[in-house]
């Protein structure tokens, strides 16, 4: 059984043959033309019914959103807009449409707001927009695996439930099998985790990095790609409580190798989408252009979506040290005129997304990689530079997104690492296994984390991260 995508891609082969297709009705015009979609592509296939031959009851039950199985002959289409159509010989209604209820849903054929579509996340898969977004998301995931596979990486899986909460990448969700109405406490009135399933306090992972590092110390080049959880308590268009993170970790790489890897990787995935998602991208490109028209002229994107993706693939990412970036920001007109919500006052400040986007969108007008951040604002495991003030950190910043990747060369020197942990109050006992890797053949190594959804936002031209993951998890939102 072929999908509609396969039939349309090779339609000449099917002419004058009988085929069977199954899908959902997108439109039924003049009791004669059924536009059927099976999810494989944004294109519908047109089935033509000679209604005089059919019983009225059947025709009456073919409505938008019902599901059908149709058998018929493939012929060249005389109408515009499609190469072939199917002259129907047999129709089965697979699923009725309870139309009164349907009218209250996003399946009703009219334009729905993204907010309403989000509330009906279980039905939005049927719309052109979300069909396109989730097909592109799937292609992005596939391309990620392909990139690493081609470059001799091994795909490893780090734990989702973790006993180490030292990373400090974000607020963690605890995991427990305690009866919440009857939590064991010790004499001091504290929760007694020794009674819990794992015998200690555990959480959902905020990053697989520390475990991935240990794997890289044996397998050389590894990557993780899995769900990641952060109890982000702010509502932004860039943060989810559950998102998918890709984390390569490479033994013998330094910061520059790491930046090269990130640049090659992003370009590969974007090129893959340009090559393999043409129909969906054309649709998203048109939508993006229409959305720009609604905006005041000064806020409009300078280029179309596809143009933007092609430009990034051809660009060379601008590599800028944190110190240079601070100079640029401090001396910018925006800063001097007080246009930033957080004014940039001195070296050492953490950059906000408004600053990152200024650098990318206004100053350099291309993707930017910032490196060598002050050690105080970055995690303990990043490698200390010779200046003793900065660490070998890197963030990749993208237009419209801000931070898309965060990474670093890791501190491989045991004594320096231990001193850093002391300074930053990180428990060494808890991370004994991590420290072990620095004792037995420690080597320089580096890696980064990419949030899958931030990349999908970029390639689809969507603006809210809730619209690029099938079931978004955000504060007060886990309906299904
Ligand atoms: P941000 O500054 O945007 O909060 P971060 O510096 O906290 O991100 P990292 O710990 O560096 O994030 O994680 C690596 C990558 O994971 C980020 O560059 C981003 O692409 C993605 N990411 C981080 N937090 C989230 C989140 N809550 N939802 C979706 N993606 C995220
Ligand atoms: Mg964060
Ligand atoms: Mg950050
Ligand atoms: Mg970061």
453 Cα–ligand 2 center, Å: 14
Q: Which residues place a Cβ less than 5 A from the ion ligand 4?
A: 406
Confirm or reject: Cβ of 136 under 6 Å from ligand 1: no
Confirm or reject: Cβ of 137 under 6 Å from ligand 1: no
Block means of pLDDT (10 residues each) for the chain, length 480 residues? 94 96 94 95 94 78 93 91 92 89 92 96 96 98 98 98 73 93 93 94 94 97 97 92 98 98 98 98 98 92 95 97 98 95 95 94 96 96 98 97 97 98 93 96 98 98 98 92
Q: Which helix (H) or strand (E) holds 356?
A: helix 353-357
Confirm or reject: Cβ of 405 under 6 Å from ligand 1: yes
Query: 3 phi and psi, to 5 degrees?
Result: -80, 165
Let me know if 86 is exposed, middle or buried by CB neighbors in 10 A (0-12, 13-18, 19+). Answer: buried
Confirm or reject: Cβ of 240 under 6 Å from ligand 1: yes
Confirm or reject: Cβ of 450 under 6 Å from ligand 1: yes
Q: Which helix (H) or strand (E) holds 445?
A: strand 445-451
Q: Which residues place a Cβ less than 5 A from the ion ligand 3?
A: 403
From 451, 464, 473, give the residue whose CB has the most ligand 1 atoms within 8 Å, as the site to mutate. Answer: 451
109 Cα–ligand 1 center, Å: 36
From 223, 227, 239, 262, give the residue whose CB has the most ligand 1 atoms within 8 Å, as the site to mutate. Answer: 239
Whose CA is closest to atom 9 on ligand 1?
A: 406
169 Cα–ligand 2 center, Å: 7
Confirm or reject: Cβ of 404 under 6 Å from ligand 1: yes
Pick the closest to residue 91 from 58, 63, 44 (CA basis): 58
Instruction: Count the Cβ atoms, other than its own, within 10 Å of residue 174.
Output: 14
Which residues make beta-bridge pairs with 107? none
396 Cα–ligand 3 center, Å: 10
Complex ipTM value: 0.99
The pLDDT of residue 115:
96
395 Cα–ligand 4 center, Å: 6
Q: Are 329 and 364 in contact (CB under 8 A)?
A: no
Confirm or reject: Cβ of 239 under 6 Å from ligand 1: yes
Confirm or reject: Cβ of 248 under 6 Å from ligand 1: no
| CA distance linking residue 216 with residue 203, whole number of Å | 23
Confirm or reject: Cβ of 165 under 6 Å from ligand 1: no
Reported residue count of the chain is 480
Whose CA is closest to atom 30 on ligand 1?
A: 451
From 243, 356, 403, 453, give the residue whose CB has the most ligand 1 atoms within 8 Å, as the site to mutate. Answer: 403
The pLDDT of residue 299:
86
Q: How does strand 67-76 pair with strand 368-374?
A: unpaired
Nearest ligand to the CA of 402 is 1
Q: How far is CA 165 from the centre of its chain?
A: 24
Whose CA is closest to atom 8 on ligand 1?
A: 403
346 Cα–ligand 4 center, Å: 20
> Which residues are within 8 A (CB) of 115 and not within 5 positions of it... i.e. 6 or more apart?
none
Q: What is the pTM of this model?
A: 0.96
Let me know if 218 is exposed, middle or buried by CB neighbors in 10 A (0-12, 13-18, 19+). Answer: exposed
From 210, 247, 269, 449, give the residue whose CB has the most ligand 1 atoms within 8 Å, as the site to mutate. Answer: 449
Start-end of H helices in 189-314: 209-219, 255-276, 278-293, 305-314
> Three-state SS for 60?
helix
Pick the closest to residue 475 from 298, 268, 308, 236 (CA basis): 236
Rg of the chain over CA atoms, in angstroms? 27
Which residues make beta-bridge pairs with 405? 396, 450
Q: Are 123 and 105 in contact (CB under 8 A)?
A: yes
Confirm or reject: Cβ of 451 under 6 Å from ligand 1: yes
Which residues make beta-bridge pairs with 246? 225, 450
């Amino acid at each position: 059984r072929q999908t509609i995508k396969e039939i349309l891609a090779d339609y000449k082969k099917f002419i004058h043959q009988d085929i069977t297709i199954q899908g959902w009705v997108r439109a039924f015009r003049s009791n004669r033309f059924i536009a059927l979609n099976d999810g494989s592509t944004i294109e519908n296939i047109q089935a033509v019914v000679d209604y005089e031959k059919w019983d009225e009851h059947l025709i009456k039950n073919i409505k938008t959103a019902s599901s059908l199985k149709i058998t018929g002959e493939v012929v060249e289409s005389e109408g515009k807009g499609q190469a072939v159509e199917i002259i129907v010989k047999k129709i089965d209604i697979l699923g009725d449409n309870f139309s009164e209820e349907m009218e209250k849903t996003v399946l009703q054929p009219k334009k729905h707001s993204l907010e309403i579509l989000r509330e009906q996340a279980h039905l939005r898969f049927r719309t052109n927009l979300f069909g396109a977004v989730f097909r592109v998301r799937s292609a992005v995931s596939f391309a990620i695996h392909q990139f690493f596979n081609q470059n001799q990486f091994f795909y490893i899986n780090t734990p989702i439930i973790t006993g180490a909460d030292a990373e400090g990448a974000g607020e963690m969700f605890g995991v427990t099998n305690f009866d919440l109405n009857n939590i064991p406490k010790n004499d001091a009135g504290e929760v007694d985790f020794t009674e819990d399933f794992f015998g200690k306090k555990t959480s959902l992972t905020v990053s697989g990095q520390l475990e991935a590092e240990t794997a890289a110390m044996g397998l050389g080049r590894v990557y993780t790609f899995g769900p990641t959880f952060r109890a982000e308590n702010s509502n932004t268009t860039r943060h989810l409580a559950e998102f998918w993170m890709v984390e390569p970790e490479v033994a013998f790489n330094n910061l520059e190798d790491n930046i090269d890897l990130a640049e090659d990787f992003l370009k590969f995935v974007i090129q893959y989408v340009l090559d393999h998602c043409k129909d969906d991208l054309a649709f998203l490109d048109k939508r993006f252009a229409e959305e720009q028209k609604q905006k005041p002229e000064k806020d409009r994107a300078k280029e179309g979506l596809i143009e933007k993706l092609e430009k990034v693939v051809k660009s060379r990412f601008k590599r800028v040290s944190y110190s240079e970036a601070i100079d640029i920001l401090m001396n910018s007109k925006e800063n001097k005129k007080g246009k930033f919500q957080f004014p940039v006052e001195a070296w050492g400040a953490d950059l906000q997304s408004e600053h990152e986007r200024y650098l990318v969108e206004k100053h350099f007008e291309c993707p930017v990689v910032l490196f060598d951040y002050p050690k105080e604002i970055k995690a303990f495991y990043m490698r200390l530079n010779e200046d003793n003030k900065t660490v070998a950190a890197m963030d990749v910043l993208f237009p419209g997104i801000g931070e898309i990747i965060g990474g670093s060369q890791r501190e491989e020197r045991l004594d320096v690492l231990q001193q850093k942990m002391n300074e930053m109050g990180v428990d060494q006992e808890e991370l004994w296994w991590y420290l072990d890797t620095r004792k037995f053949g420690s080597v320089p190594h580096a890696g980064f984390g990419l949030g899958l959804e931030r990349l999908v936002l970029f390639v689809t031209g969507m603006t809210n991260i809730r619209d690029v993951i099938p079931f978004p998890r955000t504060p007060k939102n886990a309906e299904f």
